[in-house]
Structure 1
Amino acid sequence: MKIYDTEGFPNPARVRIALAEKGATDQVQFVPVDVMGGEHRTEAFKAKNPDAVVPCLELADGTHISQCNAITEYIDNHFEGPSLTGETPKQRAQISMMNLRAENGLLNAVGTYFHHATPGLGPDLETYQCAEWGNKQKQVAGQTMAYLDEVLADNEYLAGSEFSVADITAFAGLAFADFAKVDIPETLSNLTAWRAKVSARPSIAG
């Protein structure tokens, strides 16, 4: 099993955390992709992943799986260990819901701000920018942080009492926010405490 990724990028980080949670990091070969050099946009890479983004999972039979949620779902079901995507229909639905809220409202919103309203990855890679849209998504990220803080007032983790892919996505989103200089408001004490707790997990703390 191979994972094509760029270490330190938000979505690859989600996959790496999921693997670590399952105790399976040493069962995967990581293949670095030179995103800053545009390797992800080459025909050779797009033959593996037409989305032209990292990460991309390659199975032993040659199957390629892209889209971070699909990759983490495969990892969760392929390897033994506590479920990250839920065991009952209700758990799976709740985790999926919160994961998408964290992804769309936080991680992707910060990404849109970064790629559209800042220099992003530089003019060679940022071939189209709309600053107005980027700044709007920065506001969305702030609103999502406030929402997650409210959820965490009554829950240990984002989808209930157990750590899940929703927490992984939100954690990666906040790390991206740090990089993009989108601050967590000081008033969001629940979100800040949750982040400190998640940071201490072996899968993240190392």
Structure 2
Amino acid sequence: MKIYDIEGFPNPARVRIALAEKGVSDQAEFIAVDVMGGEHRTDAFKAKNPDATVPCLELDDGSHIAQCNAIIEYIDATYDGPSLTGTTPKQRARVSMMNARAEAGLLNAVGAYFHHATPGLGAELETYQCAEWGNNQKEVADRTMAYLDGVLAENDYVAGDSFSAADITAFAGLAFADFANVDIPQSLEHLQAWRAKVAQRPSIAG
């Protein structure tokens, strides 16, 4: 399989972590996409992923799967190893729910702030900005971090007792927050402790 992505960006990082958790990173060929140069917006790339986003998974039969959650679900279902998406209906539902909350409320909210309320990736790529929307989404991210702190006061991981795709998404969201200069309050001690713990996993620490 081939993974079209760019190192250092949050969504590609999510897929790379998932591959490492399943122990199959060596089965993927990573192909760098020049996002800063606009390669993801070319017709050639859009033929693979009309959304013009990375990452994008290319299977051996030439078909493509885009969107992080879909890619991680495919990886989790295809390869052996600890489940990232849950093994029972209740677990799967909870992972899906918490992953959606972490994605919309933290990762995407920080992304909206970065792309709309700061210079973002530069004028050539940030062709439309709404600072009011970006600042609103920063408030969403702040509330979500506080919410996750409460969740982690009662659970070892974001979706319960075991590491899952929801943890990957939340961790990527905090990494993006660092990059975008969004403060992660030290007073959120449960969130901070969870982050330090997760950062030690081989899939993240390297």
C-alpha displacement of 1:172: 0.2
Q: Which residue of 2 aligns with 1:65?
A: 65
**2:116 is the counterpart of 1:116:** yes
- State the one-letter code of the partner of 1:125: L
C-alpha displacement of 1:200: 0.2
Cα-to-partner distance string for 1:20-50 (whole Å, 9 max, x where unaligned): 0000000000000000000000000000000
- State the one-letter code of the partner of 2:5: D
- State the one-letter code of the partner of 1:94: R
**2:197 is the counterpart of 1:187:** no
C-alpha displacement of 1:12: 0.1
What TM-score does the superposition give when structure 1 sets the normalisation length?
A: 1.00
Cα-to-partner distance string for 1:85-124 (whole Å, 9 max, x where unaligned): 0000000000000000000000000000000000000000
C-alpha displacement of 1:186: 1.7
**2:9 is the counterpart of 1:26:** no
After superposition, residues 66-81 of structure 1 pair within 5 angstroms as 66-81=66-81
C-alpha displacement of 1:187: 1.1
**What RMSD over aligned residues (CA atoms) do the two structures have, in Å?**
0.4
- State the one-letter code of the partner of 1:150: G
**2:160 is the counterpart of 1:160:** yes
- State the one-letter code of the partner of 1:68: C
Local SS of the residue matching 2:3:
strand
Q: Which residue of 2 aligns with 1:203?
A: 203
Query: Taking every aligned residue pair, what percent have the same amino acid on both sides?
Result: 79
Partners of 1:158 and 1:121 lie apart in 2 by 30
Partners of 1:61 and 1:49 lie apart in 2 by 15
Local SS of the residue matching 2:154:
coil
Cα-to-partner distance string for 1:115-138 (whole Å, 9 max, x where unaligned): 000000000000000000000000
Partners of 1:165 and 1:181 lie apart in 2 by 24
Q: Which residue of 1 aligns with 2:4?
A: 4
Structure 2: 5+ residue runs without aligned partners? none
Partners of 1:182 and 1:136 lie apart in 2 by 13
Q: Which residue of 2 aligns with 1:94?
A: 94
Local SS of the residue matching 2:53:
coil
After superposition, residues 120-159 of structure 1 pair within 5 angstroms as 120-159=120-159
Partners of 1:144 and 1:41 lie apart in 2 by 31
Local SS of the residue matching 1:139:
helix
C-alpha displacement of 1:149: 0.1
Partners of 1:37 and 1:184 lie apart in 2 by 31
**2:168 is the counterpart of 1:174:** no
